[in-house]
Structure 1
Amino acid sequence: MANYEIAHFGKIEPQQCPCGSTRRAFAEPGNAGSMHIVEIKEDARTHYHKKMTEIYLVLEGEGHMELDGQLIPVKPQAAIFIKPGCRHRAVGKLKVLVVPIPAFDETDEWFD
């Protein structure tokens, strides 16, 4: 068994998520982290995670990240480190690379 994995995002089927649509790679349970490309077409739904940390990197578009109620302007190359418990959402049309640590777990997605 190889000590690496390769993902081709163009071959991963998009899934609906509270932020828009996402293509998820390396999201198997037990992985140290995963990687997603998220396309936000309209304002995302505010949510938080109890265990996951997320790192967002804006790839395309300009908008805002709402972090614990504070609107922060973002544009390509902006990186955001989101700790567990931080209520967050993207506002505007954006394409974002998201790195959840540990790997994404849909049971750790909470809404008020």
Structure 2
Amino acid sequence: MTINSLSDQVPFTTKDGSTIRSILDRTNAPVQNQSLAEAMVPVGRPTERHYHQLSEEFYFILEGAGRMEINGEEREVKPGDAILIPPGAWHQITATETLRLLCCCAPPYAHEDTYFK
């Protein structure tokens, strides 16, 4: 059985500029097909616009507010919103209030699968 505590995970900055704590991924559990992380995006700071060739992502907003852009379409997001980001979709999130969200990737998040312009 694998149980990881969020408070035990060390934060790091991803290639898109968000700060995450991996809750379950290949680095801290016998994960094969997905990853789960908590991400923080400071107010006024967007992530860098990017896409993942392989990973499908879900964002689930826990705290704060922001603007989500996927392939040129923008929507306001708030706590309780779940966002689907398909593989290959250009995306960026901008915090209008400091954002805390869960990010699930399948296959698991990898720096090598993050692409910019």
The TM-score normalised by the length of structure 2 is: 0.87
Q: Give the Cα–Cα distance (whole angstroms) in 2 for the partners of residues 37 and 16 of structure 1.
A: 12
Contact map agreement 1:13 1:23 (CA 8 A) in 2: yes
Structure 2 unaligned spans of 5+: none
- Correspondent of 2:102 among 62, 82, 97: 97
Cα distance between partner residues in 1 of 2:17 and 2:41: 6
1:39 corresponds to 2:40: yes
* Two-structure CA RMSD over aligned residues (Å): 1.4
Tell me the equivalent position of 2:10.
Answer: 13
Partner amino acid, structure 1, of 2:10: E
Q: Partner residue of 1:108?
A: 113
* 4+ residue segments displaced more than 4 Å: none
Amino acid paired to 2:106: I
Percent of matched pairs sharing the same residue: 28
Match of 1:86 in 2: 89
SS in 2 for 1:23: strand
2:21 maps to which residue? Answer: 23
- Report how far residue 40 of structure 1 moved: 0.3
State the distance in 2 between where 1:25 and 1:61 align: 20
Q: Which amino acid aligns with 1:80?
A: I
Question: 2:32 & 2:109 partners in 1: Cα distance?
Answer: 9
Checking the alignment, whether the CA contact within 8 Å between 1:19 and 1:39 is kept in structure 2 is: no
Q: How many residues align structurally?
A: 109
Q: Give the superposition deviation at 1:25.
A: 2.6
What's the CA shift string for 1:2-27, capped at 9, x where partnerless? xx321111111100122421001322
Distance 1:5 1:96 in 2: 22
Superposed CA offset, 1:29-48 (max 9, x none)? 86111100000011111010
